[in-house]
Structure 1
Amino acid sequence: MYGLNVLVEKALIKIEKDNGIWMHDLIEDMGKEIVRQESPEIGKRSRLWLYENVREVLEENTGTDKIKAIVLRSRARNSQKIQLNGGSFTNLKNLQIFQDCVWMLDGKSVDYLSNQLRVLDWRCCSLQSLPTNFNPKKLGMLRMSGPCTTPLGLKLKEMPHLKSIRLWRCDGLTRIPDLSGLTCLKNLDLSGCEDLVEVDPSVGRLDKLVYLRLKYCKKLQRFPKVINLKSLETLNLSYWPLEFFPEIEGDMRSLKHLNLSRTAIKELPCSVGNLTGLESLDLDGCYNLTNVPSSIFYGLQRLEDLDLQYCSKLVTFPTKSESLPPPVFSTNLTSRLKVNLRECSELKEISEFPREIDSLYVSGCESLKRISKLSNILEGKDSKMFGELSFTSCLRLRDNLVLAMKSTKKLMSEADKLTALLRLFFSCAKSEEFQVEFPASAPIPNWFTCRQDVKLDWDEDVNSEEHEFCIELPQNFNWDNKGLALCIQSYPGRLTHFVYINGIKFDVRLSAGSHKVWVHYIPFVTVRKRLSESGMPQPDMFRVKFRLEADYLSRGEPPFEASWGVHLIEDLEGEGRR
């Protein structure tokens, strides 16, 4: 360990976060030269890493017990696969590390593999089965993919050092056996094992398991009904017909990421609320899910990302319960909650959530009529906007907001609707930054401080457009209680918008789909801070540049039209907002 510390101090190696080791080219070259000098005969060297050397040893059976490691991580273009035979590994009695990361081995069977192996990493393994006499009691990592059906037929209870099992797309693997003897197991990944039917209940009680991934296991039917995995941090059960999530037993506060996307799950047990360390909950595309119990969110103080998009049967969104006491959040928790409800076509209302939502995405929720926070802003009960809100294609919600602000019974034009919504959002312009995206087909109104219409004509081979607005600042400018509202109105088309302030990129927006308007409000103090962080001096003028780029051109299509603008918002606390 002393030697490693010396090398770290001299910046010749670096210990990465995942415990990998980066080394300077000089150290690597020196190590390789030491190995070359071990013997003129390739089969008597301790480590092999060149494709030509590995091919010679495995095809001609010239290896010896001197070889401790074989690692294939690169190959020349058009290299032929190495053809294995029964005796390819027979003489490699002391082989401890074997890695084929470039899928270069071919052969149906081998007679022997070393029982001294610590690492067996064989991508796209062509073997039909492992040797019957293979019993690697010192194995620490098992990583394989391919048709081999026997990796978990090994004597697992005799492998106390095994920490990681990754078996990807192992055709024919139907069952995960009893793993209770693997007391050191931290990583279990069986993604893409399409023939897998059953997972032994012991998997739900592995105390040291940190990472469990069973993605794309399309035939999986039996999974532990109860799990108690106190060290687990990531659980991914996505893309297989899971109907019921297991009950949470005991302390699982270490779990940070739970992915149940594209499953057939119908409901979540209330015990999910005991996952107090959860940071992300992914339920994307759970087409059988109709509701999510509110009670579980009272314990999820650290939740940052809730994904419920494409839950086509979701009819109710979790709301604050009157029968439960309000949640008490620790003052040292700084996580902001992002909620994605895109394309939840049956969702009609988003009431008050147990947690404050910072970012809300509901585009494509065509049945949505009401968001309680926006209603509260209209009624003067709230004045803080979401940090980010997107409700494009939500025409019912838009029209209901406009109707609530309407002072006349006359039909409103698209331009009047846009003005009403802009004034609603600008009324929330205080000391915090926010972004809003909503449906609108009218151009940016003329009352903006600066505005311009934009037109791209495909037939003129013009695929970009830009314009810069200048806003001069008077001397002794008061930076408080003022801000900039950046605004882009666009029609359907695949375009990318860029926004720069004094040469510094502030925004990149992809425009696709329906007619919409995007607004980004930034307090002046925030603009000044970002410019300062980029090494810019305190400005006496704001130069706001918009740039539009088309991803592709198609001759004969009508010109693309849009508008963009900047509005100066002052007197944020008074009645004189502009």
Structure 2
Amino acid sequence: MGNLRLFIHRAGRYYGVVDHLPNSLRVVDWPNYPLQFLPSNLIPRELALINMPRSRITVFGDGYKNLINLTSINLRGCQYLIKVSDLSGSTNLQRLNLDECENLVEVHCSVGFLDKLNDLSLWKCRRLKTFLTEVSWKSMRKLRLPFCKRLKSFINIVHRMESITYLTLRESGIKELQSWIGCCTSLEVLYLDGTPIKQLPSTIENLTSLRVLGLSETPLTELPSSIGCLTSLVELDARQTLIEELPSSIGNLTSLRELKLSKTPIKRLPSSIGYLTTLEELLDVSETLIEKLPSSIGNLTSLRELKLSKTPIKALPSSIGDLSSLIRLNASETLIEELPLSIGNLNRLQYLSLRGCANLTNVPHSVYGGLQHLGELDLSWCPKLVTFPSRVSGSVSSSAESLPLMLSTNSNNGHHHPGSLLFPQLRGLRFKGCKLSVSDFLTNLDCVYTLFGLNLSGSSFDSLPACISNFHQLLYLDLSSCKRLRDISELPPNIYDIKLDDCVSLERFSKLSNILEQKDTPGSLQRMKLSNCNRLMDNLGMDMVSKMAKALPYQLVHAGLDRHVKCWNLMLPSLPEIEVPKWFDRGEMDTSVLPGHETRDIYEILIKIPTNLKAERIGLVVCVVFEITKDFSQDSNSCFVTVVIDKKEYIDNARHYFESKGRESSAHDHVYVCLTCIAFKELEVVDPVVRVIFQVNRLGAKGLLLKSFGVHLASMKDDHVSGEDLARERYRQSISDQVALDAEGATVASLVSDDTNSWEVHDDHHDGEQDQEQELEPLLPTKRFKDSARQTNVGRSMLAFLRCFGSTTC
């Protein structure tokens, strides 16, 4: 082995001592090196790279003085390392990684004079108290000392460091930044976040190449006026500092794209803020003492996000409408009383939050026709907003005043100019605890085909507004804490998740009743929260879980031939009756439960199905009841199921999301019930063991305890409808819907057509043998019908157009 150049030891274990290493060796790659030292008389003279992370070495450097070929040392995570000795002979050393050497207390001063060293990292060296006091680094580019909490002093004397581009002292104990920092003219990134530094040296003005400056969570009370010399600065983060005022020179930062000032005692923004025309990503002044925005803010025409939440701002300047690039505006929990008329000019705005604006009373009529791209709107907890401006035609002058007129309940029945649309692209609406008329507001919206999330929690209606069924794409509906809600008779057709927790007066839920009685299929509905809905539970019967388990096979058969797994997720009160149905587990199958193998797995159930049964006629219903313990995470979490059949995974994509915040009763007063139906259908099952894995979406999630589980062997054969019949019925229904749409579009087109007889279609080419096919397929168009078909397209377009303006009902 005299010519050995590369030594890699990554697997296996080593016992004994190292008594020989050939001098020809260039690379030592030995993670988890088990010995406390490497004998200095055995160190190869040609060594160029040492990679020994997580080793047991206690002292490094003795015997390394003359390793002139050494270029890289990686000792990351060496928990026993306490000292780095003399490296003066390693004149070609370029990289030294000492990250997470948590017991390291000393680095030899020779490291400060290694001319070719360009990368030095001591991240999380928590016991390091002293560092180099004098350095001369000709080549240094990256210096990292974050989270060195005990390190109080930093470099005092710098002879050379003109090449450094990246310096982070984040969360270290360093109290002062010396004036030599001004010599680092190539510095591009400087992180001082979380340090006890109270003042920046005036020489910081020399850092004309600086692009990122992090000052958050420091006791800084002011920014020097020389800050305006940093003309290359792109990001300035001064969050949670003690800065009370920005210097007017802030307007000289002509390259700034992101400015963060949240949680500071700043009381005003200088008018020079308007010169930051490149400010693009973010202006964050949330949780400050700012009472008024300067009108010059309207000059920030490139700004895409503005955060004003939790400030005492009482009004937005009219110039806010000049922010033509603004996408997100968060003005939640402010003292704003009304929005300016110019708010309607924000044509690119996609997110608007007015949550918790307790004084908000008026919304201008300019929201009609304006805010055409708004996708998310939060009007929760605005108790004084009891009226909303009525729909106005596009002919109303833009100078008209904002009027708090009540909505007209039949506003969708008139013809409206395209400029009068109200939020046509809205996808998410939060209306929690709002005193506006929910029915009137929803009726007036023009987003029936785009809205997919609606939060009406805390509303005071007795029954769900009928107009909610018009929102065809609505998937998520939150009705929690609607104390007066008694009846839910109609739901949107594609609803997927509904939250009804703490609806204490709820007595009737027609959709759920029909599902349990197998009069209806759930369709897309797969998740429900019924915590503290005691009246509803009494009416439905405490055997609700049993009824649902019986309905699942029926549902999966009607779901079509492409589904093998269907899940139902329920959050129910923790009552003795809420349990796995007693008719489960009749000894038909062997089952066992295992703890999860992966980080996100919580439990795994193994099911051995009988081999003498025909797979296409059987299925499994798995019922699992989880107890939600006191260790349950307070953050949102979700659980989902993966079924493994013959090493192939099948996922229903149904996830149950848990949110315990804001609940009147504690989370551990409830249980999570997961019902999973598995249909083998045409699968040729080779391995009789089926795995059902319960997983969470977040690492380290806890608080779900398996209370009980059961497995039932179910028949997947529908006595009345075969899979082929179901497929044919779905095809017939799709054709019927298409013909109905054509007819409806044709009716509308006839309103605008000059030829009143154009819809008379004569087709004399059918014979008796074709009558049966005509029930399943549309008629082939004649030439005259082709002309009508073209007008049908016009009719469809016109119909969609009129629907948007509420002139026709669905």
2:156 corresponds in structure 1 to 88
Q: Residue 508 of structure 2: SS of its match in structure 1?
A: helix
Distance 1:254 1:428 in 2: 48
* Residue in structure 2 matching 1:338, options 423, 428, 448: 428
Q: Give me the whole-angstrom Cα distance separating, in 1, the residues matched to 2:93 and 2:438.
A: 74
Letter in 1 for 2:159: N
Find the counterpart in structure 2 of residue 355 from structure 1. Answer: 447
1:418 aligns with 2:506: no
Equivalent residue, structure 2, for 1:221: 291
Match of 1:490 among 560, 565, 572: 572
Superposition map of 1:97-496 within 5 A: 97-108=165-176, 110-115=178-183, 116=185, 117-136=187-206, 137-145=208-216, 146-156=218-228, 158-193=229-264, 195-225=265-295, 226-248=297-319, 252-293=323-364, 295-296=366-367, 298-316=369-387, 320-321=391-392, 325-327=416-418, 337-344=427-434, 349=439, 350-352=441-443, 353-356=445-448, 357-365=451-459, 367-368=460-461, 374-375=466-467, 377=469, 382=470, 384=472, 386-399=474-487, 417-419=508-510, 440-441=533-534, 442-443=536-537, 451-452=545-546, 471=553, 486=568, 488=570, 490-491=572-573, 495=628
Deviation string, structure 1 residues 357-393 (Cα, Å, up to 9, x no partner)? 322111112x345765x2475xxxx484732222122
Question: Can you give the 5+ residue segments of structure 1 that lack an aligned partner in the other structure?
Answer: 1-24, 403-412, 455-466, 554-558, 561-565
Deviation at 1:159, TM superposition (A): 2.9
Q: Does 1:508 align with 2:578?
A: no
- Opposite residue 471 of structure 1, the aligned amino acid is P
Q: Distance in 2 between the 1:497 and 1:129 partners?
A: 46
> Is 2:134–2:157's contact at 8 Å kept on the other side of the alignment?
no
Q: 1:61 aligns with which of 103, 122, 133?
A: 133
Letter in 2 for 1:507: R
Q: 1:101 to 1:264 in 2, by over 3 A?
A: farther
**3-state DSSP class of the match of 2:190?**
strand
Q: Report if aligned partners of 1:327, 1:354 keep a CA contact under 8 Å in 2.
A: no
**2: CA distance between counterparts of 1:490 and 1:446?**
13
Amino acid at match of 2:386: V
Q: How far apart, in 2, do the equivalents of 1:51 and 1:204 lie? A: 41
C-alpha displacement of 1:470: 5.7
Q: TM-score, normalised by structure 2?
A: 0.49
What letter is aligned with 1:355? C
What per-residue deviation string (whole Å, max 9, x for no partner) do you get for residues 215-241 of structure 1? 444322342234232222221122221
- Preserved contact between residue 320 and residue 354 of structure 1 (Cα < 8 Å): no
Q: 1:174: how far off? A: 2.1
Q: Which AA in structure 2 matches 1:37?
A: L
1:104 aligned partner, one-letter code: S
> Aligned in 2, Cα 1:47/1:317: closer, same or farther, shift over 3 Å?
farther
> Letter of the aligned partner of 1:337 in structure 2?
R
Contact 1:388 1:435 survives alignment (8 Å)? no
CA distance in 1, matches of 2:271, 2:542: 64
Q: 1:57 to 1:319 in 2, by over 3 A?
A: same
CA positional deviation for 1:176:
4.4
Task: Tell me how far apart the structure 2 counterparts of residues 473 and 126 of structure 1 sit (CA, whole Å).
Answer: 63
What percentage of aligned pairs have identical amino acids?
A: 20
Q: Which has the higher contact order (CA 8 A, sep 6+)?
A: 1
Per the alignment, in what secondary structure is the counterpart of residue 175 of structure 1? coil
CA contact (8 A) 2:223 2:246 kept: no
Query: Does the CA-based 8 Å contact 1:244-1:266 persist in structure 2?
Result: yes
SS of structure 1 residue aligned to 2:159:
coil
User: Structure 2 vs 1, CA of residues 210 and 323 (structure 1 numbering), >3 Å: closer, same or farther?
Assistant: closer
- Inter-partner Cα distance in structure 1 for 2:658 and 2:275: 45
After TM superposition, give the deviation of residue 150 of structure 1 in Å.
Answer: 4.2
CA deviations on 1:190-214 (whole Å, 9 max, x unpaired) are 1222x21221123234221112333
Give the distance between the partners of 1:500 and 1:134, measured in 2 at CA: 56
Rg comparison, structure with higher value: 2
- Give the structure 2 partner of residue 460 of structure 1: none
Whichever residue aligns with residue 482 of structure 2, its letter is C
Give the length in aligned residue pairs: 490
Query: Which residue of structure 1 aligns with residue 411 of structure 2?
Result: none
CA gap 1:252/1:103 in 2 versus in 1, 3 angstroms: same
Counterparts of 2:434 and 2:556 in 1: how far apart (Å)? 48
Residue 63 of structure 1 aligns to which amino acid in structure 2?
V
Q: Distance in 1 between matches of 2:524 and 2:393?
A: 30
Contact 1:97 1:118 in 2 (8 A): yes
Residue 99 of structure 1: how far off its partner (Å): 2.7
2-side partners of 1:440 and 1:89: how far apart? Answer: 70
Question: Which amino acid is 1:243 matched to?
Answer: K
Segments of structure 2 that go 5 or more residues without pairing to the other structure are 1-49, 54-69, 75-89, 96-109, 396-415, 491-503, 576-626, 629-636, 645-650, 697-701, 709-713, 735-810
Q: Partners of 1:180 and 1:391 in 2: how far apart? A: 47
> Does the 8 Å CA contact 2:458/2:480 hold for their aligned counterparts?
yes
Cα distance, 1:88 vs. partner?
A: 1.4
Aligned-residue CA RMSD in angstroms? Answer: 5.7
Residues 398, 423 of structure 1: CA spacing in aligned structure 2 closer, same or farther, 3 A cutoff?
farther
Structure 1 contact 280–304 (Cα < 8 Å) conserved: yes
